[in-house]
Amino acid sequence: MNKTLLIFRHEFLYTIKRTGFIILAFALPILALLGIGVFHIVSGITKPPTEVTRIGYVDEAGGFDQFTTQGNITLVRFDTQEAATQALITKDIKEYSVIPEDFISTGIIKRYVMQRELMPPPTTMTAIKNFLTSNLLAGNVPTTTVERIAAPLNLVTTTLTATGVVAPEQGGYGNFVIPAVFAVLLALAIIFSSTYVLQGLGEEKENRLMEILLSSVSTRQLITGKVLGIGAAGLVQVVVWVVSIPLLLNLASSSIGGFLSTIKIPAGFLALGVVYFILGYLLFAVLSAGVAAISGTVREGQGLAAIFTVPAVAPFWFVSLLMLFPDSPIWVVFSIFPFSAPVLVMLRIGLTGVAAWQLAISIAVLMLSIIGGLLLVAKLLRTYILMYGKRPDLGEIIRNLRSA
Amino acid sequence: MLAVDVSHIVKSFADNVAVDDLSFSVAQGEIFGLIGPNGAGKTTSIRMMMDIIKPDSGDVTILSEKLSEASKNKLGYMPEERGLYKKQTVIDSIIYLASLKGMDKHSAEEKADELLNQIGMLPHKGKKIEELSRGMGQIIQFIVTIIHDPELVILDEPFAGLDPVNTELLKRMFTDLRNQGKAVVLSTHQMNEVEELCDRILMINHGRSVLYGNLTEIKSSYRSHSVILDFEGELGEVPGVIEKRTHKGYVELVLDENTTPKQVLERLVSTGIVINRFELATPSLNEIFLEVAGKNHE
């Protein structure tokens, strides 16, 4: 068998047997299945609250005597505050509020409860608000207008394509969830896989196995076999996710519904995910090999690798800015910058989409970076892979690269 | 066919000339010693022979050809710094590294079992490398070096860190390799180790060749005109002896130019002393090196 293939096979099998690899590959599908299972168990044993809650009120302002049923909350009128307090103590009511005489001018409602709370429950707030509004407007405007004032807006947005027809992807959180989750996994897969390259080469250098390997194979065969072997293992991870995401989504959507049924996988997203994994991984793996070559120990190499792993995860730090200003030209620049491209492109696909020309440039720049990285790293490897001891400084590396 | 033919190789790192115009050859069926102090350029020379690094100038031919992927399979190399995949089992490590030398899995496993059994390590084949002692690890490394039945075996400091039992075991295996017609290149700074094993040597210092040739001939050429004598009794004047150097447990007798060791022995026997040991005083390789290095220094 070809020696590159032998190294490929060894690295692939060695990587997929790693505990960290197995956990990362199957954590998402298993957790999602568990989540769906737990939902069914919990929803099976928990009944939705149907009991009517009674809350009291004392109307000192006068005129608040209609609309006392607000959803599951019934408002019970008391003539005096003492009577309301007594009812609260005997747990006849859950809480009560006093509408003071000067409510119209101040807007103040005094609320009394028996238990400390962080803030008033939103359902109670809404019930009291609607009760007050309805009574204030009663007789002045039609009933339908009262209802509209209580819930003035139900915004339904439709995204149109350039030709004016309804777009297949309508955006929103439903469109963003999968790319966002996938971007996290992609970043993890790229970083873990390239770390395996760094660890593998670093250990072989640290263990002095490198010389034995190089007495049997060439540096090119060693690096090619290793990078592709570990990359193939990483690809298995990505494929597990790419296959399981639609299946899990269908399962969750049909069995749970709600928000989950609005989640959509953007068109071409999974294919782009695979493309960006392959390119992102190759770039990081090649650079990891270079870092391993110049580092004396694995630990030292991992410290150095932060130079390019930090930009890879940096898009996550700015995700809120990305959501607020998705069209800023800065994102276009960083979608082309090869280190941040894989994660940022995934996130942007979920938010607003990425123009085809940007994708083309981003992919082309990534490819060129990989080729440039390969040429640079090949020189580094030849020069430093068998040098032990002190790590060369940048000036020394540049001098050696020039003379190589 | 020469196993190794090195011709005028030079290698520099930055301003330091590590190997300076070195030439030597190794024949099949011999143990060749590449000796010299630490930092002499032995490992750099070996790495050039193995095509791990390229010489700045000069040529290296291994088994009559430039080293290629195919000819790498005919070499066994045990580097100075040893290491194996710590988390892998002994047998998996051996099989993987043997496969990189062109062996298929089945024959590698069969040969590994045979070699492990030969040295009594078969029960350890399922253990992880990290569970083995340092000495055992080195023996496994040696098995990795020879499992594919190489025609040329290159060993860099093979005895470093080994206990006497394992050292003897390795020496026996080296001799077996020579007897099978293999070429063995043994690089070491421990010159006493090569004296009993090597047929020919190359002694290098500061990257340059200082001594090269048949070990017995080299030692003869550096032999002083004196004999070693361990005796009981009173040693008076012996005709033909111009100087007596007393050492712990023996005396070195320096002979004049016209006296042979045989004549001195006859004269000593005639004095009636009890002779426990009588031999030609041959300098050790270490002494020869110090003499040669001293001359070069001057």
Cα gap B291→B186, rounded to integer Å: 22
Confidence bin at A56 (pLDDT 50/70/90): very high
Q: Minimal CA–CA distance to A345: which of A172, A171, A170, A179?
A: A179
- Residue A32 reports pLDDT greater than 60: yes
> Average pLDDT, stretch A361-370?
94
Cβ-contact A78, A87 below 8 angstroms: yes
Residue B59: phi, psi to the nearest 5? Answer: -130, 150
- Residue A231 reports pLDDT greater than 80: yes
**Do A65 and A137 belong to one domain?**
yes
Asked if residue A354 is part of any domain, the answer here is: yes
**Do A282 and A370 belong to one domain?**
yes
**Residue A190 parent element (H or E):** helix A173-206
Chain A residue numbers touching B141 (CB-CB < 8 A): 212
pLDDT for residue B25: 92
Asked if residue A40 is part of any domain, the answer here is: no
Taking CB atoms and an 8 Å limit, are B72 and A6 in contact across chains? Answer: no
CA dihedral (A59, A64, A66, A67) positive or negative? negative
Chain B residue numbers touching A206 (CB-CB < 8 A): 83
Of 3.40.190.80, 3.30.70.100, 3.40.50.1110, 3.40.50.300, the CATH number of B224-281 is 3.30.70.100
Instruction: Name the residue among A207, A211, A216 with its Cβ closest to that of B84.
Output: A207
The class that CATH gives domain B2-216 is alpha beta
> Average pLDDT, stretch A292-312?
82
Q: Which of A85, A117, A150 is the last residue in one of the domains? A: A150
pLDDT averaged over chain A?
83
**Do A16 and A80 belong to one domain?**
no
**Do A198 and A309 belong to one domain?**
yes
pLDDT in tens, B59-100: 999 988 888 877 888 999 988 777 788 888 999 999 999 999
Q: Minimal CA–CA distance to A53: which of A108, A120, A119, A99?
A: A120
pLDDT for residue A169: 65
pLDDT for residue A48: 56
> Average pLDDT, stretch A24-46?
80
Confidence bin at A319 (pLDDT 50/70/90): confident
pLDDT for residue A50: 65
Structure tokens at A161: 């394509």
Asked if residue A164 is part of any domain, the answer here is: no
Compute the nearest-CA separation of A210 from chain B (Å): 9
Instruction: Name the residue among B81, B86, B100 with its Cβ closest to that of A217.
Output: B100
Residue of B nearest to A221 (CA): B69
Confidence bin at B147 (pLDDT 50/70/90): very high
Residue of A nearest to B141 (CA): A212
Cα gap B38→B232, rounded to integer Å: 42
Cβ-contact A341, A276 below 8 angstroms: yes
- Work out the angle at residue B154's Cα, subtended by the Cα atoms of residues B150 and B159, and round it to the nearest 5 degrees: 120
**Residue A174 parent element (H or E):** helix A173-206
Query: Testing the interface with B: which of A14, A205, A215 to mutate, by most B Cβ within 10 A?
Result: A215
Residue of B nearest to A211 (CA): B79
Asked if residue A263 is part of any domain, the answer here is: yes
Taking CB atoms and an 8 Å limit, are B72 and A216 in contact across chains? Answer: yes
What is the number of structural domains in chain A? 2
pLDDT for residue B151: 92
Q: Which residue did the predictor score with more confidence, A279 or A397?
A: A279
A74: domain range?
A: 53-150
**Do A93 and A225 belong to one domain?**
no
Q: Which residue did the predictor score with more confidence, B134 or A329?
A: A329
pLDDT for residue B153: 93
Using a 10 angstrom Cβ sphere, with 0-12 exposed, 13-18 middle and 19 or more buried, the burial of residue A255 is middle
pLDDT for residue A239: 84
Q: Between chain A and chain B, how many beta carbons pairs sit less than 8 Å apart?
A: 59
pLDDT for residue B99: 93
**Do A270 and A393 belong to one domain?**
yes
Compute the nearest-CA separation of B225 from chain A (Å): 46
Percent over 90 (pLDDT), chain B: 29
Interface check B47 vs A, CB under 8 A: yes
pLDDT for residue A380: 79
Beta strands in A79-205 (DSSP E): 95-99, 110-113
Tell me if residue A69 falls in helix, strand or coil.
strand
pLDDT for residue A45: 67
pLDDT averaged over chain B?
87
Cβ-contact B78, B162 below 8 angstroms: no
Report CA dihedral (A29, A33, A38, A44) to the nearest 10 degrees: 160
pLDDT for residue A96: 94
Tell me if residue A339 falls in helix, strand or coil.
coil
Asked if residue A157 is part of any domain, the answer here is: no
pLDDT for residue A390: 60
**Do A264 and A321 belong to one domain?**
yes
Interface check B100 vs A, CB under 8 A: yes
Interface check B85 vs A, CB under 8 A: yes
Cβ-contact A193, A229 below 8 angstroms: no
Asked if residue A342 is part of any domain, the answer here is: yes
Using a 10 angstrom Cβ sphere, with 0-12 exposed, 13-18 middle and 19 or more buried, the burial of residue A393 is exposed
Assign residue A151 a region (left: φ > 0; alpha: ψ between -120 and 50; beta: otherwise). beta
Cα gap B276→B278, rounded to integer Å: 7
Q: Which residue did the predictor score with more confidence, B176 or A251?
A: B176
**Do A260 and A298 belong to one domain?**
yes
- Residue A362 reports pLDDT greater than 90: yes
Residue of B nearest to A6 (CA): B100
Cβ-contact B196, B159 below 8 angstroms: no
Confidence bin at A373 (pLDDT 50/70/90): confident
Query: Testing the interface with B: which of A216, A383, A390 to mutate, by most B Cβ within 10 A?
Result: A216
Query: What value of ipTM does the predicted structure carry?
Result: 0.78
Using a 10 angstrom Cβ sphere, with 0-12 exposed, 13-18 middle and 19 or more buried, the burial of residue A49 is exposed
**Do A93 and A210 belong to one domain?**
no
pLDDT in tens, A89-103: 999 999 999 999 999
Taking CB atoms and an 8 Å limit, are A207 and B86 in contact across chains? Answer: yes
> For residue B181, what are the contacts with CB-CB under 8 A and spacing of at least 6?
B28, B29
Q: Which of A116, A150, A184 is the last residue in one of the domains? A: A150
pLDDT in tens, B285-294: 788 877 777 6
> Average pLDDT, stretch B166-195?
87
pLDDT for residue B6: 92
> Average pLDDT, stretch B202-210?
89
Cα gap A118→A183, rounded to integer Å: 35
DSSP calls for chain B? -EEEEEEEEEEEETTEEEEEEEEEEEETT-EEEEE-STTSSHHHHHHHHTTSS--SEEEEEETTB---HHHHTTEEEE-SS----TTSBHHHHHHHHHHTTT--HHHHHHHHHHHHHHTT-GGGTTSBGGGS-HHHHHHHHHHHHHTT--SEEEEESTTTT--HHHHHHHHHHHHHHHHTT-EEEEEES-HHHHHTT-SEEEEEETTEEEEEEEHHHHHHHT--SEEEEEEES-----TTEEEEEEETTEEEEEEPTT--HHHHHHHHHHHTPEEEEEEE----HHHHHHHHHHHHH-
**Do A226 and A363 belong to one domain?**
yes
Chain B residue numbers touching A384 (CB-CB < 8 A): none
Confidence bin at A291 (pLDDT 50/70/90): confident
Cα gap A48→A314, rounded to integer Å: 42
Cα gap A379→A206, rounded to integer Å: 20
Query: Testing the interface with A: which of B100, B138, B141 to mutate, by most A Cβ within 10 A?
Result: B100
- Candidate from A108-112, A374-378, B148-152, B177-181 with smallest mean pLDDT: A374-378
- Residue A387 reports pLDDT greater than 70: no
pLDDT for residue A198: 85
pLDDT for residue A360: 93
Interface check B107 vs A, CB under 8 A: no
Instruction: Name the residue among B81, B82, B101 with its Cβ closest to that of A216.
Output: B101
Chain A residue numbers touching B85 (CB-CB < 8 A): 203, 207, 209
Residue A247 has, within 13 A of its CA and on its CB side, a CA count of 11
Q: Which of A119, A150, A181 is the last residue in one of the domains? A: A150
What are the residue ranges spanned by the domains of chain B?
Answer: 2-216, 224-281
Q: Would the pTM count as exceeding 0.80?
A: no
Instruction: Name the residue among B69, B77, B99 with its Cβ closest to that of A212.
Output: B77
